[in-house]
């Protein structure tokens, strides 16, 4: 009886030791996650992404900017690319004119191809194309790629 009691006491001691070890391990794991989180907070890096405005890093992007600033003379009125794109959505008369202007761009001097794009296609090939987005009730998106 007495021996059994002593054994019980010994077991209890071992279990306590195991619990302490387990506790320490859990604390260490928690500390590890906290450390990981704080490491990235305190070593935050700021990367300067300034690029010269006239940089010809991307020819397509440059061409897109050129196209966006185009103006067209229609019925003695000077109309910008954006305005013509917006009008083409509202009035079929302008739709025909705009289509012919797009054809001129695609066959012209810019060396790029331009087409209207639904938004969900955009992120599939970003980097190979530049985009012209026309503000509107439903923004109109054009994809500019190398022809």
Partner 1 sequence: MKTNLGVNKKGIFGVLLVFATIMIIGTAFISFNAAKNKISSEIDTPIRLIELNAIKNTFLIYSNDSVNLASQHSYKILFDEINDIFPSSCTTYLNSVIIKDACLIDQNKLENKFLENFNLEYSKLINTYPKPMIDVDKKNILDYQIFPKFETKIQDNILFLESNGQEINISKQTKFMDYTYSINVNPKNSLNLTKEKIFLNDLKNLVMEINSKSKICKIKTTDKELLSCFSEINSDQFTLSPSINIGNILIEIKTKDKFFFIDSSTEKFDNLSFNVAISKA
Residue ranges that bind partner 1, judged by CB under 8 A? 17, 21, 24, 28, 32, 35-37, 39-40, 43, 45, 47, 49, 51, 55, 57-58, 61, 64-65, 68, 82, 86-87, 89-91, 119-120, 122-123, 126-127, 130-139, 141
Min dist CB 87 to partner 1, Å, is: 6
Considering the complex, state which of residue 4 and residue 51 has its C-beta at the smaller distance from partner 1.
51
Min dist CB 50 to partner 1, Å, is: 9
Min dist CB 139 to partner 1, Å, is: 6
Considering the complex, state which of residue 61 and residue 72 has its C-beta at the smaller distance from partner 1.
61
For residue 72, which phi and psi values (nearest 5 degrees)?
-125, 145
Considering the complex, state which of residue 37 and residue 103 has its C-beta at the smaller distance from partner 1.
37
């Amino acid at each position: 009886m007495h021996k059994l009691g002593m054994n019980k006491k010994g077991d209890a001691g071992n279990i306590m030791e195991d619990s302490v070890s387990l506790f320490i391990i859990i604390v260490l794991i928690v500390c590890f996650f906290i450390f990981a989180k704080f490491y990235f907070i305190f070593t935050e890096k700021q990367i300067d992404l300034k690029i010269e405005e006239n940089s010809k890093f991307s020819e397509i992007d440059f061409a897109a900017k050129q196209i966006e600033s185009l103006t067209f003379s229609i019925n003695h009125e000077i109309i910008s690319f954006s305005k013509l794109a917006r009008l083409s959505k509202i009035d079929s008369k302008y739709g025909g004119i705009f289509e012919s202007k797009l054809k001129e761009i695609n066959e012209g001097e810019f060396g790029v191809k331009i087409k209207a794009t639904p938004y969900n296609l955009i992120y599939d090939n970003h980097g190979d194309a530049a985009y012209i987005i026309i503000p509107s009730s439903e923004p109109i998106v054009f994809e500019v790629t190398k022809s």
